Each structure stands twice: as structure tokens, then as C-alpha cells.
Amino acid sequence: MKKALPEYDFQPATLKVLEDSPKKLFINNEWVAAQSGETFETLNPATGAPLAAAALAGAADVDAAVAAAQAAFPAWGSSIAAERAEKLFKLADLIDQHADMLAELETLDNGKPIRVARRGDLPYVTKHLRYQAGWADKIEGSTVPVTFPNQFVYTRREPLGVVAAIIPWNFPLLMAIWKLGPALAAGNTLILKPAEQTPLSALYLADLIREAGFPPGVVNILTGPGEPTGAALAAHPGIAKVAFTGSTAVGAKIMAAAAASNLKRVSLELGGKSPNVIFADADMASAVRGAQWAVFSTAGQECVAGTRLFVERAAYDQVVDGLKQNVEKMVVDHGFAEKVHVGPLISQAQMERVQGYIDQGQQAGAEIVAGGGRVGEQGYFLQPTIFAYQDDTLKLVQEEIFGPVVAVTAFDSEDELIARANDTQYGLAAGVWTRDVGKAHRYAHAVQAGTVWINGYGMIDPAAPFGGYKMSGFGREMGKEAIDLYTQVKTVWVNTQ
């Protein structure tokens, strides 16, 4: 198994996680085999070789996890809020203690540079967890001045019940915590399904959850693919809510399954095709560097990636030249390499999909300015790729690629810009670079996106609401809005006569 690993001074605990494979499912604070006995392999995207095996949860395992989470809910949901917070803070401390190892697991399973996993993913995981833990004892109702005499009316914000969190592979642990934090703080119990490509950090988290003192059944972790594991969760009548991050196509399936089963609540964080805009009056060095990292960090596998770059015509040549120069210096390599900017894509299928968009874009008349090809023959590496285009109807411009590909175009007026920037089914994020404060805010207000960055790109914070417009989904994670996603309001009438 170790032949799949690069030369690197791994934590012994990381290697042990891999050797202990096949793992089991985490239900009721215990490790149990899938009832079918089935397992599946998770691969190292830098080599294509298997890293470890995980249990494959089927419908019977989903039933068992739901039963455990339902049994745990009455006590957890009515527990003292400060005590829930304490356990979440304890979990954050444990994650900090195990951060080096968790970062290594993220890099092995996902492929991202270890520097990014260490300085990005892991610190964000605990920042988010602590922020949401802080909300647990601040979830308040209100008193309501009704028109009836002698009636005292108040509201309570109550948890929903069993929440299923279904997450993608690009930020495995961070996505898990975005959902786990507010769901548990508000008093729900949870079933987490990590992406089949990246189960390892979630499985490791299970032991930390037990150590933090969460009662059995409060958190259950089921590994397995979308079908059958995710689909069985979305269709289960015992689940009160599905919190989903992933593709728009799967989001639609989850809504349909929710509607057909029990009208469970659904919140969706979906794909994007985010417009990033550079006006000619921008600080060019920052704008060009910003546009570069807006799309090429995480090898373009970020929902907020600034994949459509609009440049005011007067600055177009300068931006395209600058971007090309920067991009051609980016090092594509495995995540443990000494110097690496762009890691592998997550899978063979994803690499082929992205290559398909590149080929199709070229055939349709878009011009490749940089990149366009595979790197090496092992693993799933692609060059950072820049396309220049004019035709907004190109597939390359309309569809989410989820790879290291940016499409650059020139614009002449603000009206044209807004019309074209909004000409997509998506609405997750947007960026704008200009020194003109009025222009920046005009754009920020007119663009259809859940988040807009002015003279920056990609910042996410536990206190700042985050989510989509249009087919990028609905519901806002982060901030107090995340708590609203995991609670429901009860109104109580008291006759005071």
C-alpha cells in the first residue's frame, strides 16, 4: 500500500490510518461493518493507486444510523446549550491537536498541496467550529405583541431532528464542519456522508468526536457513494433535513427525493460559474494575481472559482499577457512536493471531463492562451489553462468545469458587462477590481451572486453568510444564518387571564 505514497516524513498516525483499512461505519459511537460487508477503495489522485478501503453503507446501514440519531435526539435536542458548546469547543481543541495528521490525510486523499491543507483547510476547520459553538447558547426566541388581550405569545427556536450532511471532496473536513458545527450547536443530531473520493479525514474525525464526549448517536458517519448511500439518506422518512454541498444536478435529485419522501428540509450549496471583472483603472498587479488565484487554487476545483474573467478592453492585452506569464510559472505536482501550486484533479473521470471541455472549447473556436494539456502520465494532473473567447454561449463559458480552466473576454461598457456577467444559470460568487468605488458598488449590487468581493477574491469567514443565487442553491451557511438553517420556529400562546 505504501508504494502509493510519495517520499515524505509522514506522521506515524497517518500511516496507521491507512494500514488499519478497511475501516468501518461510525454509528452510535461504535465502529461497525457495513451490513452487506461491502467496501470500496479511495485512491491517491497523485498516483491513481489505492490508499485505503472504506465500508460501503447501504440502505440497511442508513436505517441503523437514522435509528441511532433519532434515539439520541430527544436528550441532545433539549440539553443545556452551553454544554453542547463545550463539547464542540473540545472537538475543536482535539482537531487542533491532530491537525498535522488530518492535513496529511486531506492531501493524500484529495491531492491538494500540504501547505494549503495545513495553513488553509485545518485552521479554517477549527475557526468555523469555534464560531458555531459560540452560537449554541445564543439561540433566542422573542415575545410577540399580538392584538388579543390577555395573551402572552413567545417563540422558541427548536432543532429539526436528524440532519443528513452530504458533502463533496474538494474541502473534505471543512465541508463536514460547516454542517456539523451549526447542526449540533442548534441541538440536531447528524449523519455525515463524506464524498466517496475523500472519506479518510471524516473517518478520523469520528474518533475525535467520541473523545470529545458527544453521546452515542449524536454524530454518525456513513461512507459510501452517492448511490446507494446518499440517495438512501435523501429519501429516508426519518431524516428531518438534508444539508447538501455539491453539483446542481445532484442537488435537484435531493430536492426531488425530499419532496417524494417526507418534505424534509433541504439546503443546497451548489455549483458556480463566477464572473471576475477587471476594470482598466484597477491596481493591475493585484488584479492579475487575484484573477490567477481566483481560479487556479485547488486546481480550479472550488465552487466559487472565478472562471469567467471579464476585462475592460483598454486593459485586455495587459491582463492576458500578465496572466499568461504568471500561469506559466505555476508548478503542477503532487501535494507533498517541495514546491507546488497546482495539485492533481480528484479523479480520472474529473480529469477526462475537464480535458473534454478544453478540447470542445478549442473546436468551438476559443483560443488557448496557456496550458491545455495533461502533465505526466501518472495521476490526474492538468496544466493551468487560459482560454480567450468572445462567444458567451460556448459550453466552456456556460458550464461549470471544476478544473484549472479560466475563460477571458473583453467588455466595453458597464451595461454590457452586467448583462453578460449575469448570463448564466449560476449565481454563487463574483469579483470586481477597480479603484472607482461607485463602479465597484454598482457592479456589486447588479450582479446576481450570493457573495461579491471588491478588490479581492475568495475570502470566506465563519461570520459572513455564504450561499447561492439562482441554480447555485439556497440557504446561507456561516454567520447566524447558519443557525437559522438548522432550526424551526415554534409560537406559544399563553392565556394569562
Catalytic residues: 269, 303
Q: Does 271 bind ligand NAP (CB under 6 A)?
A: yes
Specify the 3-state DSSP secondary structure of 172. helix
Q: Does 197 bind Mg ion (CB under 5 A)?
A: yes
The whole-angstrom separation of Cα 468 and Cα 458 is 14
> Which single residue brings its beta carbon nearest to Mg ion?
42
Site string for ligand NAP, 220-259 (x = CB under 6 A): -----xxx--xx--x----------xxx--x--xx-----
Q: Does 487 bind ligand NAP (CB under 6 A)?
A: no
DSSP 116-171: HIIIIIHHHHHHHHHHHHHHGGG----EE--SSTTEEEEEEEEE-SEEEEE--SSS
Smallest gap from Cβ 236 to ligand NAP, in A, equals: 11
One of 43, 117, 184, 195 touching ligand NAP (CB under 6 A): 195
Smallest gap from Cβ 194 to Mg ion, in A, equals: 10
Question: Which of Mg ion, ligand NAP, none does 267 bind, CB closer than 5 to 8 A by kind?
Answer: none
Q: Does 188 bind Mg ion (CB under 5 A)?
A: no
Looking up cell 491537536 gives 97
Q: Does 106 bind ligand NAP (CB under 6 A)?
A: no
The whole-angstrom separation of Cα 303 and Cα 269 is 9
One of 17, 34, 95, 167 touching ligand NAP (CB under 6 A): 167
- Side chain identity, residue 300: G
The whole-angstrom separation of Cα 236 and Cα 217 is 17
The count of chain residues that interact with ligand NAP, using the rule CB under 6 A, is 28
Q: Does 274 bind Mg ion (CB under 5 A)?
A: no
Q: Does 290 bind ligand NAP (CB under 6 A)?
A: no
For ligand NAP, the binding residues in 421-450 under the rule CB under 6 A are 428
Closest CA to 175 of 264, 241, 269, 90: 269
The whole-angstrom separation of Cα 135 and Cα 479 is 9
Q: Does 487 bind Mg ion (CB under 5 A)?
A: no
Task: Give me the sign of the Cα torsion angle 29, 31, 32, 33.
Answer: positive
The whole-angstrom separation of Cα 95 and Cα 22 is 23
Q: Does 130 bind ligand NAP (CB under 6 A)?
A: no
Q: Does 218 bind ligand NAP (CB under 6 A)?
A: no
Residues that bind ligand NAP (CB under 6 A): 166-170, 193, 195-196, 225-227, 230-231, 234, 245-247, 250, 253-254, 269-272, 303, 400, 402, 428
Residues that bind Mg ion (CB under 5 A): 42-43, 109, 197
